[in-house]
Amino acid sequence: MPSKKIITTITTLIVIALCGFFYSYWSRCLFPDYLTIFQAGSLSVPMQKIGEEFSHKYSRIRIAFESSGSVDAIRKITDLNRSCDILTVADYNLIPKMMYDNHASWVIIFASNEMVIAYTDGSKYNNEINSTNWYEILSKDEVTIGRSDPNCDPCGYRALMVFELASIYYSDPFINTTLWEHSNTVVRPKSVELLALLEAGQIDYAFEYKSVAVQHNLNYVELPDEINLSNWTMSNYYASVNITISKDDEHMVITGAPILYGVTIPKNAEHESEAVDFVKFMLSQDGRNIIEECGQNSMYPAYTDDVSRVPSELREFVQQLLE
C-alpha cells in the first residue's frame, strides 16, 4: 500500500497539473483564437511581418495566412463559401465589385504600388534594357517573359494594361499586340510564382509590383508614370484602357486605375473583434512602417468609399475617398 507521503506527492502534482491546464485554458494559450487571413500574393511579406508584431502584442491570437491571387481570394469566399476573418487584395475595386452587398460592406484603401519589369543578372540583354527600350527587348523571340493570369490575379490584368498604355504612350499599336501574343510567354496563377522561375533562369523578365522586386532583391526597370499605374493624378488617363476577365461563362470588365490595395472584414468572419484589432494595428504607425519597409507606399489617413460603413474602431484611420 502506498505511503501517505507518496499519495500526498501524487495529489499535489495532479493539483498543479490541473491548475496549469485551467490557467492555460483561460489565458487561451492551449486554445488560442485563430485569425484566418486571405491575402494577395504581393502582400505576403508585409502581412507576415505585421502578423508577427501583432502576435507579440496579442499573444492569445494565432494567425493562419493563405496567399493567392486577389480574384481567387475573393472567390474562395463568394463561390466556395469559405470563412475568412480578414481579406487583403491588390485592387481595392474588386471588393465593391465582387463582394458588396452579400459578402462585405466596406473597404479601406491602405497602400499603393507600381508596375515594374523585374529581371536578374542572368537575364538576356540585362545590360541593355532600360525605361525607354524595354518593349523592344521584351519583343525579341529569344527572350522569355512571365506574367500572372489576369483571371486570377490583378498583377496579371495590370500587365496587359501596361501593354495597352505603352501602345498609347509610344504611339505604336503593335507594342500591345506583340507583347500580348509573344510566343515565349509563361503565365502563372499569381505573380509571386514567377519569382522562382526568374531566379532559376527559366524566364528572363517578369511583370511584377515594385514592392515584390524590392523584397526579393531583384533588378527592375521603372516605367513612365503614364504606363506604371502609380500616379493618382492620371486616373482618367489609365481609365482609357480596360481588360475583361472571365470565369466559366461570367465576364467582368476591369478599367485601368492606379494600383491601390484594399482590406475588409468579410461578413462571414468568425472572429470579428480580433479582426478589427488586427486591421487597427495594420493601419497604425507600426503597421505603416512595416508596409513602407517592404516597398509599398502606405496611406495615412487611409481612404474608404463610405466612412459610415467602416467599423467605429477604425474610423480614426480613414477619410472619405473623393471620386
Span 88-97, pLDDT tens digits: 999 999 999 9
| Cell output for 179 | 507583347
pLDDT at 193 > cutoff 70: yes
Kindly state the average pLDDT of the residues 116-129: 98
Q: What confidence score (pLDDT) does residue 8 get?
A: 60
Whether 115-255 and 32-112+260-320 are alike in CATH topology: the answer is yes
pLDDT at 29 (0 to 100) = 47
For 53-72, write each residue's pLDDT tens digit. Answer: 999 998 889 999 999 999 99
Could you tell me the residue ranges of all domains in the chain? Answer: 32-112+260-320, 115-255
Q: Which amino acid is at 135?
A: Y
DSSP E strand stretches across the chain: 33-40, 61-68, 86-89, 108-112, 115-119, 145-148, 185-188, 205-209, 219-222, 242-247, 250-255, 260-264, 297-304, 318-320
Residue 153 has pLDDT above 80, yes or no: yes
Residue range 115-255 forms a domain whose CATH class is alpha beta
**Percent of the chain with pLDDT strictly greater than 70:** 89
Torsion of CA 37, 112, 298, 313, to 10 degrees: -50
Residue 302 pLDDT exceeds 80:
yes
CB 191 within 8 Å of CB 147: yes
Q: Cβ–Cβ contacts within 10 Å for residue 285, how many?
A: 8
Q: What local confidence, expressed as pLDDT, does residue 110 receive?
A: 97
Superfamily of chain region 32-112+260-320: Periplasmic binding protein-like II (3.40.190.10)
- Express each pLDDT in 74-113 by its tens digit: 999 999 999 999 999 999 999 999 999 899 999 999 999 9
pLDDT over 70 (residue 263): yes
Give the mean model confidence (pLDDT) for residues 133-139. 97
- Partner residues linked to 304 by β-bridges: 108, 320
- Per-residue confidence (pLDDT) for residue 248, from 0 to 100: 76
Q: 156: closest CA among 216, 201, 209?
A: 209
